[in-house]
Every structure is written in structure tokens, then in C-alpha cells.
């Protein structure tokens, strides 16, 4: 079995408490970048895990937690954090996902896999999957 490796990051977003946000990010091994244009902060996968995504393993809960599930507590009221991730498991699967979350914790997710249903709807043909 091959390992999944990806590249992940967020847009720049405003936070309520810079110190608390940076402490949370550091505690999970994420990297934080500050916009030079005053747009806020971006989150990058750091030493959080070997796969390069924006999640971490919570030993106390014995589960993997994605940063998107916790980021809303730090977001300013008028901010939206957009997570982008693209990766693969060798050439077997190519995965891409975009997820947006607001300060209320509401999320929207779009996946590259959505293309199959869209192609079938538009062309009337169910395409084979780009995987094996």
C-alpha cells in the first residue's frame, strides 16, 4: 500500500486573537504566515504529519482532527478560512479538495471527485474514474 502525500494551505484570514491562534497552530505543528498586505494569517502544514495535510492526531481522543474543524474559534466575525489540498497516493488516486469555514463553524466542501457527477449530468455519460 502506498502512502498519501499532499500539499495543503489556506488563504489569508483575520483572527480574533493572534496570540491564541499562533499558540494553537504551534501546538499542532502547523506553520503560520502573516500577510504583508494586512490580510491576516495563512496556515500551512508543518511538522503536524508526514502526509502534508492540515490535520493532526489527537492521542487523548484517539482520532485525527482536521484544522478546519477547529479554526472557527479563532476566526474574526467577517472572516472565512479556505483550505486547499491536492495530493496523491502514487498514481493510484489523485485527490483535490477545497473547504471553506466561517466563524460560526459552517463548512462548504468541493472535491475534484465532484466532476464525475457533473460530467454525467452535462454529457449524459458516466465517465470511468481516474484511479485504479
- Segment 107-118, tens digit of pLDDT: 999 999 999 999
User: Over the stretch 72-125, which tens digit does the pLDDT of each residue have?
Assistant: 999 999 999 999 999 998 878 899 999 999 999 999 999 999 999 999 999 999
CA distance 7 to 42: 14
- Mean pLDDT, rounded, of the chain: 92
Residue 48 confidence class, pLDDT cut points 50, 70, 90? low
Residue 130 lies in a domain: no
Q: Residue written as cell 466561517?
A: 102
Domain that holds residue 55: 4-123
Number of domains in the chain: 1
CB 117 within 8 A of CB 102: no
CB 75 within 8 A of CB 20: no
Residue 63 lies in a domain: yes
Residue 34 lies in a domain: yes
CA distances from 30 to 44, 52, 111 (A): 6, 10, 23
Residue 49 confidence class, pLDDT cut points 50, 70, 90? low
Q: Beta strand pairing status for 55-58 and 63-66?
A: antiparallel
Amino acid at each position: 500500500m502506498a502512502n498519501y502525500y499532499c500539499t495543503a494551505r489556506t488563504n489569508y484570514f483575520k483572527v480574533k486573537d493572534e496570540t491564541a491562534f499562533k499558540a494553537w497552530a504551534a501546538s499542532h505543528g502547523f506553520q503560520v504566515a502573516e500577510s504583508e498586505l494586512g490580510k491576516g494569517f495563512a496556515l500551512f502544514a508543518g511538522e503536524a504529519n508526514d502526509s502534508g495535510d492540515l490535520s493532526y492526531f489527537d492521542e487523548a481522543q484517539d482520532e485525527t482532527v482536521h484544522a478546519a474543524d477547529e479554526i472557527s474559534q479563532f476566526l474574526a466575525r467577517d472572516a472565512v478560512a479556505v483550505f486547499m489540498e491536492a495530493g496523491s497516493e502514487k498514481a493510484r488516486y489523485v485527490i483535490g479538495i477545497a473547504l471553506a469555514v466561517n466563524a460560526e463553524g459552517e463548512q462548504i466542501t468541493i472535491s475534484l471527485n465532484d466532476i464525475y457527477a457533473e460530467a454525467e449530468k452535462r454529457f449524459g455519460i458516466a465517465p470511468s474514474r481516474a484511479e485504479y
